[in-house]
């Protein structure tokens, strides 16, 4: 008896799985991956591409940022945070803006200077691309209202135009830039 034949004499072949079991295995694997991805996107974080120039120089057009959700799901909002939000009557379009007013705040803009609760906001740490000299009459936010503005104040479609947004419209908190690679993992403030 040859060497090759001797090796196979005592071995049994593994039974082949039926085709339907193989397909079911693939469907369950892919389905699990989709469910996990949806859970991560719903409760942990989302990547978002910045579109437009409203957040210059803090964030530039076509940069991709990583935005986290847990703190906002718990209701931890902070003035000055950069957020991902929706606008009224704009569907699921996402916007990147700075949170400047919290529920109960009174906001006013005098000759381009933002006042919150009667005090001028020191925005010297924000690398704004352009400053608007426009004014806005005092506005007091309701218990479920937030006010957002772009850092490029002269070129931003924000709460000055669309009005306050609700808590439900604030989707996530921008944390880091992930693209381009030259800015990879840069903290966003």
Enzyme catalytic residues: 54, 97
d(CA 180, CA 186): 10
Q: How far is CA 162 from CA 97, 134, 148, 158, 165, in A?
A: 13, 16, 10, 6, 8
Tokens representing 47?
């990547």
Residue of 114, 62, 94 lying closest to 170 (CA atoms): 94
Q: Alpha helices, DSSP H only, in the chain?
A: 3-9, 19-43, 70-73, 159-162
Tell whether the torsion through CA atoms of 187, 103, 168 and 123 is positive or negative.
negative
Which of 158, 151, 147, 95 has its CA nearest to residue 116?
Answer: 147
Instruction: Report, in this order, helix, strand and coil percent for the chain, each rounded to 5.
Output: 25, 30, 45
């Amino acid at each position: 008896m040859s060497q090759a034949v001797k090796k196979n004499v005592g071995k049994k072949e593994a039974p082949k799985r039926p085709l339907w079991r193989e397909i079911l295995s693939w469907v369950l694997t892919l389905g699990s991956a989709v469910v996990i991805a949806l859970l991560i996107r719903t409760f942990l974080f989302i990547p978002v591409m910045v579109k437009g120039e409203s957040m210059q120089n803090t964030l530039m057009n076509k940069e991709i940022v990583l935005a986290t959700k847990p703190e906002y799901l718990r209701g931890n909002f902070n003035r000055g945070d950069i957020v991902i939000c929706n606008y009224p009557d704009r569907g699921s379009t996402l916007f990147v803006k700075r949170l400047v007013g919290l529920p109960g705040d009174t906001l006013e803009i005098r000759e381009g200077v933002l006042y919150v609760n009667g005090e001028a906001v020191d925005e010297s740490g924000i690398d704004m691309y352009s400053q608007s000299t426009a004014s806005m009459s005092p506005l007091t936010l309701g218990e479920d209202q937030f006010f957002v503005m772009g850092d490029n104040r002269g070129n931003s479609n924000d709460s000055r135009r669309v009005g306050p947004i609700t808590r439900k419209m604030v989707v996530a908190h921008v944390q880091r830039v992930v693209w381009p690679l030259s800015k990879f993992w840069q903290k966003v403030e």
